[in-house]
Chain A
Amino acid sequence: MSEVKMALDGDNKDLSASYMMWYRFSRNPAAVIGTLIVLSAVIFAILAPYITPKPEDVGAVVNFRARHLPPDAAHWFGTDKVGRDIFSRAVFGLRISLLLVIGVLGISVPIGTVLGLAAGYFGGWTERIITGLTNVMLAMPPLVMALAVSNLLEPTLMNAMIAITLLWWTWHARLIYAVSKSVASEDYIEAARIAGAGPMHILFREILPNCVSVISVKTTLDAAFVILFGATLSFLGFGVKPPTPDLGSMVADGRQFMPDFWWEVLCPGAVILYVTLGFNLLGDGLRDMFDMEG
């Protein structure tokens, strides 16, 4: 058994690790498409003011003569109930979604990683408290908690972000905890300890590098979930304040005019789908690249 495995993997010593990763990544059309989608979304979001046909429609512009126009050459995604260009608003909405991703994951991933690493390596009460906390958080519907937190405080994007962040770290902590715990029992960790290394060195120099692949896959997939989550919150009316465009609230607005003006729902919806699909494909591609199970 092991011999065949060796013949398959271990004997590729002449190939560099990065070549093998690149090989797996580039042979995966889904991963390449995902990368292109994510890149295009990021570029659109950054350049939104310069490439959208009507950047001024982001504000409280009213143009009743042009309202409820179906998609055409001038308005790719049609116009909404007050005559604003949905395409321009959707691109700016994308911007907010990506900012939300950066904000939420930028805070919750490091926190979750550090707590997960610590719980897995130190064990004892550290482990019990952190895993206990994540288990409790798991029992709460994240959407309900986010709604409750953001509404009881004040339904703003900032509060929604805080609410999501408060919940999100637990998923990372759980995952990193599992990896950290298995890595912590390896001989090389004990060897580092015998050599005199302190906990900081062991956590961040010995264990963390072994978690990088897991973290990057999880973070990429999470980007999609955060976008979904943020869109759902704003769809339910707990997001940015009008007139700032947000993909979720644009769908909610358009819903009143269903099914006649379907583009007002489906076009912003398609943008959400486009970017979440991109992150998912990229995440799956990374997973294949790192040759991870599951």
Chain B
Amino acid sequence: MSDALLKVEGLDVLFTSYGQTRQVLRDISFTVGAGERVALIGETGSGKSVTAKAILGTLPRNATVSAGRIEVEGRNVLELPRGARDALKGSAFSLIMQDPLSSFNPVFKIGTHLDDVLRFADSREGVKSSRAQRRARIAAVLRRVQLADPDRVMNAYPSELSGGMRQRVLIGLALLHQPKLLIADEPGTALDVTTQDEILNLINTLVAEEGMALLMITHNLGVVRKVADRVVVMRHGDIVEAGPCEKILAAPEHDYTIGLLDAVPPLYGPRVQTQKISAQAPIVRATGLGKQFGRHGKRFTAVKDVSIALREGEIFGLAGESGSGKTTVARMMMGLSRPTSGTVTVEGTPNPGRPLAQIVYQNPGTSLNPKRTVKQSLGLPLKYAGLTGAARDARMAELMALVRLPVSYLAKYPHELSGGQKQRVAIARALAADPKVLILDEPTAALDVSVQKTVIELLLHLREELGLTYFMISHDLSLMRNFCSRLAIMLRGEIVEEGATPEIFADPKHPYTRALIAAIPVVTDDEERYKPAVSPEERAAFLVKTTD
């Protein structure tokens, strides 16, 4: 293809650290034509971000491009001098950064960043512009990304804007010089699902209206379906499969792609799993829970009048976006935090002398002490459960078997384990004290989707085997659809809807629930069709404002 905007050919990249050299990209080749939307998809370590950095010329110091070409508009950028390469930035291609908070220097105003970018892009092209002219152009671009009050945005420091607004500014930054190619590195991933949905819609609109090409870097297959014409699937530095979006999503050929698609929890359709509703009596009952933070004067209500009856043997899901108060509710249910009002009563039969509930945390990176071995971490609850010597060792072996880890892993430190393995150890530790209830605080949010699948399967299996009750909090409704038997949706500290999971998804009553479900990126057209409809008024009423 000679008319390709971007052509990557046989790209090899090496990283050198600790005297060892590893190849992180092997023979990467793909093209992006004018006006085409291409997605690079892969899980952790696939090399998708490294590829983007190689194109942009922002690889870290210890990386070397050992072979291959990167052509932008027919010129190999790897052979260009630095100045000429910089000149391409912003005009030939532009980057939409990923993390909206750290992408701006915190001690400079948003407007300063934008003005400098525009000023140097202008001077490279030999255009003279006054500050006022640039300001007008910036304001126009900010309006393009639906920021209605550009002056306020420009005069704000990064920390004074919401995540969604900063992400919009980053998109605006990429548009400043009408680039032909937009490169987007996981835009909106750090944001709530409803905000992310708006951001993706915005990118789609802009790409269509301006006739730009798009290279989207993502780990989410749902995002791919939403924004890409063509897909390049990467794994461990290799391209495993590439092709048109519909074909890859509907009829993937490579085993890895098939497995990846299979691991995505479906929202609707025949693949959906429905968990049985428990008919047993409640094991924990929370009545009229309320929680306020802060001292007098500036009191902030995090949770308001929440009542939940957790039935023995069920998987209860508490869903909500960040700041909805779901974690606070879970902590109060566990007795880790004292409610300002309301009560938590244990109604089931607790294990004698053992804690009723244990918790599995969201981030496997911080739930295990980096300075203690798996054995030490597991030994702690066992020690306080009164087990010593051979009995303790036997129980540890039993726990490791339960979470499907070899006993030899007991001697390892957390940094020697992968994210999924760490989460298994965290589950084993929670199980050590023989609890009746496990609180699952977004247990798979930090994991790749294929790892998520195995952890979820493990949790389901453990529940069968040990007769556990789960209380899960999460923002991931597609996961909860398949994992939870009952569901409650939280918005701003209150439960707005509650019921059996299939019923909620079949007929969501509250507009916020509908907006949440509608925002989830799905991988098939069928699922898209089943999504509930949301009117713009409803969106405006319940979603966090990200525009102004």
Contact = CB atoms under 8 A, between A and B. Distances in A.
Interface string A7-41: 11111110101011001100000000000000000
Contact of A195 (B18, B368, B433): B433
B355 interface: yes
Given A12-B17, A194-B358, A3 B49 contact: yes
A209 B363 CA distance: 20
B45 A11 contact: yes
Given A188-B366, A195-B384, A19 B18 contact: yes
Contacts of A13: 415-416, 418
B132 interface: no
Contact of A3 (B45, B355, B366, B433): B45
Contacts of B276: none
B336 A4 contact: no
B18 to A, nearest CB: 5
A126 B381 CA distance: 27
B15 A8 contact: yes
Interface of A: 1, 3-4, 6-13, 15, 17, 19-20, 23-24, 186-192, 194-197, 201, 205-206, 209-210, 212
Interface stretch (B250-258, B369-377, B449-457, B478-486): B369-377
Contacts of B367: 187-188, 191
A286 B309 CA distance: 54
A123 to B, nearest CB: 15
B369 A210 contact: yes
Contact of A210 (B49, B99, B185, B370): B370
Given A191-B367, A194-B355, A7 B24 contact: yes
A10 B48 CA distance: 16
B53 interface: yes
Interface string B172-204: 000000000000010000000000000000000
Contacts of A192: 369, 380
Contacts of A195: 380-381, 384, 429, 432-433
B349 interface: no
Contact of A188 (B24, B46, B53, B369): B369
Given A196-B383, A205-B372, A209-B372, 16 more contacts: A1-B49, A3-B44, A3-B47, A3-B48, A6-B45, A7-B45, A15-B20, A20-B18, A23-B19, A188-B377, A190-B336, A191-B361, A191-B426, A191-B429, A206-B372, A209-B369
Contacts of B369: 186, 188-189, 192, 206, 209-210
A9 to B, nearest CB: 8
B50 interface: yes
Nearest to A208: B371
A13 B415 CA distance: 7
B45 A186 contact: no
A206 B363 CA distance: 18
Contacts of A23: 18-19
B413 interface: yes
Interface in B155-180: none
B359 A194 contact: yes
Given A3-B45, A3-B49, A210-B369, A12 B18 contact: yes
B16 to A, nearest CB: 10
B75 interface: no
Interface of B: 15, 17-20, 22, 24, 44-50, 53, 60, 62, 98-99, 185, 334, 336, 355, 358-359, 361, 363, 366-372, 377, 380-381, 383-385, 413, 415-416, 418, 426, 429, 432-433
Contacts of B383: 196
Contacts of A8: 15, 17, 60, 62
A7 B19 contact: no
Contacts of A187: 361, 363, 366-367
Nearest to A197: B380
A4 B18 contact: no
Contact of A6 (B44, B60, B385): B44
Contacts of A6: 44-45
A283 to B, nearest CB: 21
B98 A1 contact: yes
Contacts of B416: 13
A192 B413 CA distance: 16
B266 to A, nearest CB: 27
A12 B185 CA distance: 24
A3 to B, nearest CB: 4
Nearest to A24: B18
Which of A3, A10, A17, A23 has the largest number of chain B CB atoms within 10 A?
A: A3
Contacts of A194: 334, 336, 355, 358-359
A195 B264 CA distance: 34
Contacts of B372: 205-206, 209
Given A3-B49, A3-B50, A19-B18, A197 B366 contact: no
A19 B369 CA distance: 20
User: Shortest 4 CB-CB distances between A and B: which pairs?
Assistant: A196-B384, A209-B371, A195-B381, A3-B49
Most buried by B among A7, A17, A209: A7
A23 B20 CA distance: 11
A215 to B, nearest CB: 13
Given A4-B53, A4-B60, A206-B372, A191 B45 contact: no
A209 B334 CA distance: 28
23 contacts: A1-B98, A3-B49, A4-B49, A7-B47, A7-B50, A12-B20, A15-B18, A187-B363, A188-B368, A190-B359, A191-B359, A191-B367, A192-B369, A192-B380, A194-B336, A194-B355, A196-B380, A196-B384, A196-B433, A197-B384, A201-B380, A210-B370, A212-B371
A191 B427 CA distance: 11
B176 to A, nearest CB: 22
A128 B334 CA distance: 28
A13 B98 CA distance: 27
A256 B518 CA distance: 86
A69 to B, nearest CB: 52
A1 to B, nearest CB: 6
Contacts of B45: 3, 6-7, 11
B381 A196 contact: yes
